């Protein structure tokens, strides 16, 4: 008994490879997107398990590992930082100062930054951190 096998031509279009391509393009788009909210001076923030309210109107006071001070991404120095902050605070007395410092900076310098904010007449300041997940991973 001889079986006859018929060879049929494939008439349907395989959509599996097309969906793979679309999925890869979607992943590429998501990875290449930028999710950074604050651009400017690059520092590594310390981790924290709690969050704090971020006000919409902040002064960003940043200290880098190289002992450079930035006010709203504009370079300043230790001698003029109080005067620069006073000038900004005079216009908006209820403005909050967000202190951003690299995690490797000694506590002595962070306290000096806090003193600078008080000397400038600020009523509110916050120390920026990045939120740490329960598993220990951190996110921005």
Return the CATH number at 52. Answer: 3.30.420.270
Domain with 101 in it: 47-131
For residue 109, is it within any domain? yes
For residue 116, is it within any domain? yes
Q: Mean pLDDT, to the nearest integer, of 107-136?
A: 80
The pLDDT value recorded for residue 7 is 76
For residue 14, is it within any domain? no
How far is CA 64 from each of CA 5, 6, 61, 123, 139, rounded to the nearest angstrom? 76, 75, 10, 24, 20
Distance CA 117, CA 128 (A): 14
The pLDDT value recorded for residue 12 is 66
For residue 62, is it within any domain? yes
> pLDDT at residue 84 above 70?
yes
Q: How confident is the model at residue 39 (pLDDT cuts 50, 70, 90)?
A: low
The pLDDT value recorded for residue 1 is 63
For residue 82, is it within any domain? yes
Total structural domains within the chain: 1
Q: Mean pLDDT, to the nearest integer, of 116-139?
A: 73
For residue 22, is it within any domain? no
For residue 110, is it within any domain? yes
> pLDDT at residue 133 above 70?
no
Query: Best-predicted range by mean pLDDT among 46-60, 79-93, 120-134?
Result: 79-93
91-103 pLDDT, tens digit per residue, is 887 788 888 888 8
Query: Best-predicted range by mean pLDDT among 77-86, 91-100, 127-136?
Result: 77-86
Q: How confident is the model at residue 140 (pLDDT cuts 50, 70, 90)?
A: very low
Contact between residue 95 and residue 59 where contact means Cβ atoms under 8 Å apart: yes
59-68 pLDDT, tens digit per residue, is 888 888 888 8
Distance CA 100, CA 114 (A): 11
């Amino acid at each position: 008994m001889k079986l006859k096998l018929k060879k049929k031509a494939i008439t349907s279009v395989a959509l599996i490879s097309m969906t793979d391509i679309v999925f890869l393009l979607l992943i590429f788009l998501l990875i290449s997107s930028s999710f950074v909210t604050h651009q400017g001076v690059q520092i590594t923030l310390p981790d924290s398990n709690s969050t704090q309210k971020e006000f919409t109107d902040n002064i960003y006071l940043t200290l880098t590992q190289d002992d450079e001070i930035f006010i709203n991404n504009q370079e300043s120095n230790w001698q003029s930082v109080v005067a620069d902050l006073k000038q900004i605070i005079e216009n908006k007395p209820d403005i909050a100062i967000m202190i951003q410092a690299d995690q490797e900076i000694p506590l002595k310098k962070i306290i000096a930054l806090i003193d600078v904010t008080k000397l400038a007449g600020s009523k509110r300041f916050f120390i920026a951190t990045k939120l740490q997940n329960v598993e220990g991973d951190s996110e921005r």
